[in-house]
Amino acid sequence: MTARRILVTGGAGFIGFHLTHRLAADAGAELTIVDDYSRGSADEEFASLVEKPNVSVENADLTDPAAWAKLGRGYDEVYHLAAVIGVKHVLARPHDVVRVNALSTIHLLDWFVRGGARKVLFSSTSEAYAWTRQFHELPLPTPEDVPLSLTSLADPRSSYAGSKIFGELAVNQYCRAYDARFTVVRYHNVYGPRMGREHVIPELLERALGNEDPLMVYSPTHTRAFCYVSDAVDATIAVMRDPRADGLTFNVGNDREEVAIEDLAQRIVAKVAPGVGIEPKTAANDPIERRCPDISRARSVVGYEPKVSLDEGLEATLAWYEPRLHAEAATEAPSSPAS
């Protein structure tokens, strides 16, 4: 049997790592990971992954078309997850967000439609439609077929949403023009081990473990529908491999786990810092009060159903983060003076 050849861009990142870890478990697959480690981490877990005999890794700048030429052609599946993301990066260098996300996608498509692979999956985000709420009433939970719009183009946060809208547009237009197979996934509040520190769950955990009392909770009444990363990986592989998903966009999330941020904080405190109080605060940079995906399309087309509850996912996430944060705190603590 011919090996399934798979390419994952951004495979050292959060979702990318969990996706490549799952894909590499198939000994019949030949997996190539591409990352420049600008956000992904070449840590011990990643090092263990790339030691597998069916896994290879390339350190490449995907904004350079020559990088794509070096990857060769004839892949069965390409998962394009590489992107500059995160509020910190978006606010500090929005021009890089636009440049990296747009150029890497355009060069991918030029390579793809000339025989690079049989099918491409583009990873997008709920940010693609989130700002539309400032202009239009959208249904909640929100389906895929809603208008996509931006606020002021001078707003740095428009750089990420705009780059993903552009990516969806480019993938749709290229692939339809060349009759090439594709699908788009919009991730919604995916969380889990190895997600970095600049997300609400590890950020609340770190401050709770740091004895912040009361714990400041920003946008406490805002709600998000959190999706554990293994469920996101299930959906991602399903829509790649099911031909019924070709040409469609899918929300990937967990519509059964919508929770207010204050409630999320209370669950975290109860698990790691019982007795710590919570003080609600207003956040200045997040006007989107509620996000919850309609995932009925994924359910009906590929049979996707989230399996991991928020409490189960939090347990697994906290179990990964807590010892690492404790070890880091112990390393940074000043030593006692010699007696």
Please indicate, yes or no, if residue 10 is contained in any of the structural domains.
yes
Q: pLDDT averaged over the chain? A: 93
Q: How far apart are CA 311 and CA 10, in angstroms?
A: 28
Quick check: is 247 in a domain?
no
Domain assignment of residue 116, yes or no: yes
Q: Which of 19-23, 207-211, 215-219, 281-285 has the lowest mean pLDDT?
A: 281-285
Listed range (26-40, 95-109, 164-178, 209-223) with the worst mean pLDDT: 26-40
CA pair distance 169, 106, nearest whole angstrom: 11
The answer to whether the Cα torsion of 84, 87, 93, 94 is positive or negative is positive
pLDDT of residue 335: 55
3-class secondary-structure state, position 312: helix
289 burial level (CB within 10 Å; 0-12, 13-18, 19+) = exposed
Question: How many percent of the chain have pLDDT more than 70?
Answer: 96
Phi/psi region, residue 74 (left: phi>0; alpha: psi -120 to 50; beta: rest), is left
| Sequence-separated (6 or more) residues with CB below 8 Å from residue 280 | 217, 220, 221, 262
Residue 172 to residue 130: CA distance in whole angstroms: 20
What is the DSSP-derived secondary structure letter of residue 190?
E
**DSSP structural state of residue 335:** P
Domain count along the chain = 1
Range of the domain at 125: 4-187
Taking the whole predicted model, whether its pTM rises above 0.85 is answered as yes
Residue 313 parent element (H or E): helix 310-332
121, 108 contact by CB (below 8 A): no
Asked whether residue 32 is assigned to any structural domain, the reply reads yes
CATH number for position 9: 3.40.50.720
Any domain includes 229 = no
Q: Is residue 114 part of a domain?
A: yes
Q: Which of 53, 33, 30 is nearest to 41 (CA)?
A: 33
Q: Which pLDDT band, with edges at 50, 70 and 90, does 188 fall under?
A: very high
In a domain, 274, yes or no: no
Measured CA angle at 253 (ends 250, 256), to 5 deg: 125
